[in-house]
Structure 1
């Protein structure tokens, strides 16, 4: 089950409703949670959870316990939103931060003021970079302490780690900007330090090459290709468990092949797969695991539905990010549907 933001963590705290949601979907062999912030300034959206306080650690324990009792594994996705944020969504006294002070185009929802333009991020200084790295490591340690089987770093969708890779967003002139090696440094240092702290077999990274989500300006195709080839090779050297690729039609075949040849551990593919296209990808050897998002969102028993070739529930898009159980834990499973007939 791929990670999906659902915005049910009131006051940024995991809760019993979330525990029910994940347990319902534990037919998946591996669940990757919604994006979870390693620090207060990484909470760019309303009602997303964190893993930096003891109250948050305690809140996640019911989630890991329920999923494990139901026989699944669960990784926590660590997501620092960087400049994709508004100050109204952060705790008092915190501001959005970024590799530079370049503001993201577009708007973001806030509970207090509705849609607002993204806030201008504060450019991280050298001490700020160190704090970001340390906060990721502490969050990973907290995750394992909470019962998670590992962590997935969110290096996709235009958030902080992908911001660091993009030369139009990361305009730094120090060791974290400029060359491909420097722009990859933040992601690789975080991955390496987390691997040392909790074990490399408990670390994954999600990427979305060539994506322009969250105002990620397109840059030279050769540079993008070389960036992800280099990143994959370095991650292979670190020996992390997996790379999770959010697929899109813009990724050329040569980049897929380069990642596959550079990285010898598990490749997970997701994004728009059906049971049939996922099976074809597995049989072709281009993916070792496949992940589903939307299908699990509206079908707690998605795996049973694949086995029985049963129709899928439609997604209620009105309730994707609203608080409460509606459109979250109230989707029917096959047995319930049969009773309604």
Structure 2
């Protein structure tokens, strides 16, 4: 009897430890992806002996973390392994969304659209539909189709508001603010971005708040409304301190340099601005920086994305059986 109880206790302890590790990895995935990857790699020796759903959850989560670290080959390898597990009858949605994310972050927008559009075909709960719509809107935005992006975001915002999904509401307010900016509707854009900042403040999500804050400053810089910049920048600069991701600090420095530079720009100012913009990698920040540099007359030193070969796109055979012919050209 004691042996049985000991075995049960050990099993419970092992399961509890694995759950704790996964919860820690998930909590760190957005702002500390390296920690998520480290926790995942600690699980690898035992992962194949765990249930299929547990393996899938770890593989998909780690894939997103690898993607944020720009380790795309490893991210895609994880998704291929997760794809092989679908024969166990697992849910497809997480894997579809992760495949879309990995492609989106590589700026492979047609491939990302394929996976997100496929997920939209399934009978998803309203919140998942809203998340897919958000992703489709982000692709439309990055491709310059602002009218389509606005439709996706507004439809998703209606569902997110109805079902009280505060984090998704804040994200969509942020995204709509960017769309309105690109449509030169500056005051409505600022209103949306302030709503996003308020939402993230209430949620205590510092990284998302920092991103929304930088987007608001971007709109102010695009307007060259320097008194407004001074009002907003004081508080925002405090939130983006030396603990913030380096890329966000760098983008803030670019916005501050655009504010401080004399007009018309002198050659030294142009070189300084181009130097600040060159290391940016987050697609949205890269696009914003390019637009602001062009507007200021500083050119665009940001290296364009290399041409993508569709033959090298991520292929997930099990998923593709549910999604129809793969066309990402």
Instruction: Please confirm whether the aligned pair reaches a TM-score higher than 0.5, indicating the same fold.
Output: no
* Structure with greater Cα Rg: 2
Which is helix-richer, 1 or 2?
2
TM-score by length of 2: 0.31
Which is strand-richer, 1 or 2?
1
